[in-house]
């Protein structure tokens, strides 16, 4: 199916919202639908559209796969409670880590994450609730990246020849599929979603697993999560499109207290971009880089080397996996 992009300049936000609410409500009819909220702007906008369209016949879940930022599950649940939306936390840590065990190939890791979400977690939620529909925040860039064969985005099914109804037993609705991130931010503002969410840098669906090179284990995620926290604290003031920490697989020789320390490497990336299609590294001042290195090597156990990526997209991509 050909999808037509609605560019930010041509978007009539109010009309878009009214049309999507009517569309969701007429497709779902008097049935039930569910969605997974990650706290990003896309899934937050879908959550509000679904609730406006379906009220009590729409259930929102936060899938706690232990791949999110520190404190994120509880923070997002409480933020949406303040908006009048009940979000149920689903503990899916074991499902995801079992699927990721021993996986090192980037596309296989992405596939394991897709399977965990769609077959294992959403499949079970649909059976439990009797819902026939899953609403999700797939955007125009996700489709492009997958169709172009750059990366399999965690939320793409149809373009990879997957029929969710036949495979998992539910239909998928994607109200934001014609929009890119900048347009979705406008829709989110019009839906009264707090600025903290509307302004958030993008965060990938595979979450911190997209930033661990090699096997994704709870311990390696913990390391990249701690480094991410520091990177976000130090770089949020830059207003850059996205900033992140990556844990490398190779170790390097370091020195601590006069002794050899064969330790971990963290790579920091900070991107200037409009819509993630192309990007270039932010020209960060040297004292900012210096503080990042100092904090990461002292606060994240085992890290002896911090590097800053100076590569553009393309040929690099924004995430490492």
Contact present, 273 and 241 (Cβ < 8 Å) = yes
Work out whether 267 is an interface residue with ligand XMP (CB under 6 A).
no
x-marked contacts with ligand XMP along 203-242 as a string, rule CB under 6 A: -xxx---x-------------------------------x
Of 63-71, 77-85, 281-289, 312-320, the window that binds ligand XMP (rule: CB under 6 A) is 312-320
Work out whether 191 is an interface residue with ligand XMP (CB under 6 A).
no
What distance, in Å, lies between the first and last C-alpha atoms of the chain? 28
Among residue numbers 274 through 303, which ones bind ligand XMP (CB under 6 A)?
276
d(C-alpha 76, C-alpha 84), whole Å: 12
Contact present, 164 and 172 (Cβ < 8 Å) = yes
Work out whether 319 is an interface residue with ligand XMP (CB under 6 A).
yes
d(C-alpha 222, C-alpha 228), whole Å: 10
Work out whether 153 is an interface residue with ligand XMP (CB under 6 A).
yes
Closest residue to ligand XMP in the complex (CB): 205
Work out whether 144 is an interface residue with ligand XMP (CB under 6 A).
no
Of 52-60, 128-136, 145-153, 289-297, the window that binds ligand XMP (rule: CB under 6 A) is 145-153
CB atoms within 10 A of CB 50: 29
d(C-alpha 104, C-alpha 108), whole Å: 7
Q: How far is the CB of 117 from ligand XMP (least distance, A)?
A: 10
Work out whether 146 is an interface residue with ligand XMP (CB under 6 A).
no
Q: How far is the CB of 34 from ligand XMP (least distance, A)?
A: 18
Among residue numbers 39 through 98, which ones bind ligand XMP (CB under 6 A)?
none
Tokens found for residue 311: 């590569």
Q: Which residues bind ligand XMP (CB under 6 A)?
A: 142, 145, 150-151, 153-155, 202, 204-206, 210, 242, 276, 313, 317-319
């Amino acid at each position: 199916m050909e999808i037509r992009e609605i560019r930010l300049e041509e978007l009539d936000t109010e009309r878009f919202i009214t049309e999507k609410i009517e569309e969701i409500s007429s497709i779902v009819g008097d049935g039930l639908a569910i969605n997974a909220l990650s706290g990003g702007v896309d899934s937050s906008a879908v959550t509000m559209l679904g609730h406006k369209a379906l009220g009590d016949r729409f259930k929102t879940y936060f899938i706690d796969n232990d791949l999110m930022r520190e404190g994120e599950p509880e923070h997002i649940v409480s933020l949406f409670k303040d908006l009048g939306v009940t979000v149920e936390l689903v503990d899916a840590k074991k499902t995801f880590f079992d699927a990721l065990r021993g996986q090192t190939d980037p596309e296989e890791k992405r596939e394991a994450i897709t399977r965990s979400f769609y077959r294992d977690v959403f499949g079970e939620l649909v059976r439990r609730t009797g819902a026939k529909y899953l609403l999700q925040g797939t955007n125009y860039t996700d489709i492009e990246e997958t169709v172009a064969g750059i990366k399999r985005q965690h939320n793409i099914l149809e373009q990879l020849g997957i029929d969710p109804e036949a495979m998992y037993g539910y239909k998928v609705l994607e109200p934001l599929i014609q929009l890119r991130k900048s347009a979705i931010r406008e829709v989110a503002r019009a839906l009264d979603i707090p600025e903290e969410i509307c302004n958030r840098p993008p965060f990938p669906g595979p979450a911190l697993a997209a930033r661990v090179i090699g096997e994704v284990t709870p311990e390696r995620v913990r390391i990249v999560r701690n480094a991410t926290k520091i990177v976000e604290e130090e770089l949020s003031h830059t207003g850059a499109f996205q900033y992140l920490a990556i844990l490398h697989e190779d170790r390097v020789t370091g020195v601590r207290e006069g002794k050899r320390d064969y330790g971990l490497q963290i790579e920091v990336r900070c991107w200037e971009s409009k819509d993630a299609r192309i990007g270039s590294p932010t020209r960060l001042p040297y004292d900012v880089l210096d503080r990042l290195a100092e904090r990461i090597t002292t606060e994240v156990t085992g890290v002896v080397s911090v590097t800053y990526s100076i590569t553009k997209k393309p040929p690099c991509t924004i995430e490492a996996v």
